[in-house]
Amino acid sequence: MTEYLYKSLTEKIIKCFYKVHDELGYGFLESVYENALIVELKNMRLKVESQKEIEVFYKEVLVGKYRSDIIVEDKVIIELKAISQLTKSHEVQLVNYLKATNIEIGLLVNFGEKLTFKRKIFRNKN
């Protein structure tokens, strides 16, 4: 069986997802879940950055900027949702965020009625 990249780190993050969902349930805004998740991640003594600006380049020209929800340990991007169901477009959004950075692992989490998450990988050229 192949070992996942940053398996230990992503397991810690996923435990934090469950703690937040168990405590808050569903129905809050994304920003509430984001703030609560940041508290849990910091309690695990992880380096956390929220709403970090990331630049997108095309042929070495800056063509856009976006803000990632959360970056953990400079290794994992977390994209949060609080909707009824994740769609393929949410997964594509996260992969595009990975493409624009040197980060290779992304976690898409939905704090809906039932907590769901997806792990996405994009192997960068570096």
Report the pLDDT value the prediction gives residue 2, as an integer from 0 to 100. 47
Q: Residue 20: count other Cβ atoms within 10 Å of its Cβ.
A: 25
- Rounded mean pLDDT of 99-115? 93
Average pLDDT over residues 99-107: 93
Kindly provide the residue ranges of all beta strands, DSSP E only, lying in 4-102, ordered along the sequence.
Answer: 48-58, 61-72, 76-81
Task: Return the CATH class of domain 7-121.
Answer: alpha beta
pLDDT digits (tens, 9 = 90+) for 4-60: 788 999 999 999 999 999 999 999 999 999 999 999 999 999 999 999 998 999 999
- In whole angstroms, what is the distance from residue 66 CA to residue 6 CA? 24
pLDDT of residue 3: 63
pTM > 0.85? yes
Q: How far is CA 42 from CA 71, 97, 102, in A?
A: 12, 23, 23
